[in-house]
Amino acid sequence: MPARTASGSSAWTLFGKLFLLIFSAVSLWSLATPLMAVPDEPAHTIKAAAVVRGQITIEEGTSFGHGVHVRVPAYIANLHAQDCYKFRPDTAANCAPVIPSDANDEAIGVTSAGSYNPMYYWIVGLPSLVLTGQPALFAMRILSALLSAAFYSAGFTALAQLRQARIPVLMASLAVTPMVLFLAAGINPNSLEIAATMAAFCGFVVTLDNAHRVRHVLPAVITVIASTIVLANTRQVSLVWLLCALIAGVLLFRGTEIKAAFRSRLVLTGAAFTVPGVLLGIYWIYLMLHAPANSGVAPEGIANPQPGVSIYRAFLTMVEKAPEFVQQYIGVMGWLDTPVPMAVVMFWSTVFVVAVLLPLLIKPFKTTLGAWAALAMLIVVPAILQASIWKSMGFVWQGRYNLPLVVVLLIAVGMTARRVHFPQSAGAQSVARVVLWAAAFCHLLAFAFVLRRYVVGTFGGGNWHAMINGVQWQPPLGWFLLTLMYLAVVVTAASWLFRLLFPGAVLVQLRRTLSRG
């Protein structure tokens, strides 16, 4: 029997639709953002090109100075040169040198991602074997966007199979902040990590929610298996996010449901499927722990050791800084040089405040444990991880690293509130319309603002008119068409979400007189 979702369509159909929608949104971000404007994108692109050319592990004598040295086509080796606008939001992207299509001679590239698991790079690097120049790099981005879109779609599809799906799906949708989409658009495994953690968590909670009829939610089980294997082979820290997601998931359900789920032959078979993949990921971690170390002294800026700071102090500093990361969860694009407008920050800050306070309204307390655990892990786990490397590497933590846990937190809150009656009155629909239009507007504003930053530079703000008469850089298809397409995508997303929340109702209500005319 095919799995059905809350909206009634088959899971595979829903997955297909969602995939098209999310992939469209992410690829628009891929086109709108100049190549190499996503954090550490040159390093990850060089790594991807090296991995598909067989340079997978760190060989003796290859790691020194700024990172691991590899041999890749010159147009990729020289991508670090695309940094003229890095940390300079007033500078348009046209300052960057042209990425040539004929510079295919082998050259030396340096990557700081040398120790990362090669799986993501094996896939994303493939276009560089058949294309060259900008087309190759855009194709690499698009391939990365495909991966992320697949996992986000799988996560949403799984959530739609919940018995009470409305609030979890709503919260999951709000968890897709502009920053989440921006990161998914670039070449950086951070994107896949967020998407796979989201998918793993969603699949896991749906499996537990259907513990006594797991067979009916087979896509959710498959999602957990695939996400687990991918997370084990993305970044070394990804397994920690997976563990956090599983802990939060378990705490959202009663012991009887958890026992039932883990007695299911399907679940046990699924768990067995993940074992080789997880072991492979652990083996890679083992390999890298024993890989040749950097054979020199890393230049300043690559490592800023703080040997004098106690781990305890470093931990507390991170805990204290936890709220400061919220803006980075919402949108600090580029190389952390392009914060989205304050209106966008305010909207999602409100979402976060509501998310954190909502469990206080839900009784009994034990049903909210998963949400509280997710919140605690969001604050404590990054603090532990950063504190452990503070002495050797200094303060290197960024908000985007936490996004897998942020997404888990928002969905966990949605799960906690899933049994709350969701009103279907006209008033409730009006409130939902306002919220969804606001969300769509904020997404669009963030998108247009980031485009402005690259098309003309921000120059302290207020120069939207320059997008018409002072264009300095244009993305493929031009900024105007991209913005229109993005508008269509976000309105479609809001409409679908509205229809899920209020079956039979529509987000865009044309007046009867108009429709009659």
Partner 1 sequence: MSIAYSPDGAEVGKTALTNGLSYFAAGDVALDSSTASNGQSACGRDGLISVPVAVVPVGVAFNLGEIRSLQLNGSLLSGILQGKITKWNDPELAAANPGVPLPSIDVVPILEKSPSDVTRAVNKYLATEAPGSWPDSSGSEWPSGTVRANEDKVTDVARKVDDTQGAITVLDTAIIGSRFSVARLQFGGVYQDFGNESTMAAIAAGETVQSVPRVVEQRLDGSKGYALAVLENQYFCTRYGNDATASLVRSWGESVLSRQGQRDAVVYSSSLPPSEPTTAAALKQVRAITSDKR
Q: Which two tokens stand for residue 104?
A: 């295919």
Dihedral sign (CA 364, 370, 374, 376): positive
The reply to whether 391 sits near partner 1 by the rule CB under 8 A is no
CA 217 to chain centre: 24
124 and 144 Cβ atoms separated by less than 8 Å: yes
What distance in Å separates the CA atoms of residue 343 and residue 438, rounded to the nearest whole number?
10
The reply to whether 207 sits near partner 1 by the rule CB under 8 A is no
371 and 490 Cβ atoms separated by less than 8 Å: no
Closest CA to 152 of 182, 172, 179: 172
The reply to whether 297 sits near partner 1 by the rule CB under 8 A is yes
Nearer to partner 1, 114 or 125 (CB): 114
Site for partner 1 in 27-46 (CB under 8 A): none
Which range touches partner 1 (CB under 8 A), out of 102-110, 254-262, 305-313, 384-392?
102-110
Nearer to partner 1, 70 or 224 (CB): 70
Closest CA to 502 of 427, 415, 410: 427
Nearer to partner 1, 210 or 294 (CB): 294
Burial of 256: CB neighbours in 10 Å, binned 0-12, 13-18, 19+: exposed
DSSP output for 226-276: HHHHHHHTS-TTHHHHHHHHHHHHHHTS-HHHHHHHHH-HHHHHHHHHHHH
Site for partner 1 in 106-135 (CB under 8 A): 106-108, 110
State the minimum distance, in angstroms, from the CB of residue 62 to partner 1: 6
The reply to whether 80 sits near partner 1 by the rule CB under 8 A is yes
Nearer to partner 1, 293 or 468 (CB): 293
Q: 31 vs 35, 142, 182, 483, CA distance in Å?
A: 8, 9, 11, 11
Nearer to partner 1, 39 or 109 (CB): 109
Count the helix, strand and coil residues of the chain and give each as a percent rounded to the nearest 5. Answer: 65, 5, 30
Q: How many residues bind partner 1 (CB under 8 A)?
A: 21
Tokens 């006209």 found at = 426
Residue type at position 296: G
The reply to whether 301 sits near partner 1 by the rule CB under 8 A is no
Nearer to partner 1, 51 or 149 (CB): 51
Q: 96 in helix, strand or coil?
A: coil
CA 49 to chain centre: 22
The reply to whether 84 sits near partner 1 by the rule CB under 8 A is no
The reply to whether 443 sits near partner 1 by the rule CB under 8 A is no
66, 88, 216, 321: residue in contact with partner 1 (rule CB under 8 A): 66
What distance in Å separates the CA atoms of residue 353 and residue 243, rounded to the nearest whole number?
25
Would you give the binding string for partner 1 spanning residues 241-280, x where CB under 8 A is met? ----------------------------------------
Which range touches partner 1 (CB under 8 A), out of 42-50, 135-143, 214-222, 292-300?
292-300
Nearer to partner 1, 111 or 458 (CB): 111
The reply to whether 53 sits near partner 1 by the rule CB under 8 A is no
The reply to whether 65 sits near partner 1 by the rule CB under 8 A is yes
Nearer to partner 1, 4 or 71 (CB): 71
State the minimum distance, in angstroms, from the CB of residue 350 to partner 1: 44
State the minimum distance, in angstroms, from the CB of residue 115 to partner 1: 17
State the minimum distance, in angstroms, from the CB of residue 103 to partner 1: 8
What distance in Å separates the CA atoms of residue 490 and residue 153, rounded to the nearest whole number?
15
State the minimum distance, in angstroms, from the CB of residue 128 to partner 1: 18
Q: Which two tokens stand for residue 359?
A: 């469990």
The reply to whether 216 sits near partner 1 by the rule CB under 8 A is no
Q: Which two tokens stand for residue 231?
A: 């997370």
Question: Sheet holding 106-111: strands in order across?
Answer: 63-64, 67-73, 106-111
157 and 224 Cβ atoms separated by less than 8 Å: no
State the minimum distance, in angstroms, from the CB of residue 105 to partner 1: 4
Which range touches partner 1 (CB under 8 A), out of 232-240, 290-298, 395-403, 498-506?
290-298
State the minimum distance, in angstroms, from the CB of residue 113 to partner 1: 16
Number of alpha carbons in the 13 Å side-chain half-sphere of residue 279: 6
Q: 5 in helix, strand or coil?
A: coil
The reply to whether 303 sits near partner 1 by the rule CB under 8 A is no
Closest CA to 153 of 30, 46, 15, 267: 15
What residue ranges bind partner 1 (CB under 8 A)? 61-62, 64-66, 69-71, 74, 80-81, 103, 105-108, 110, 295-297, 299
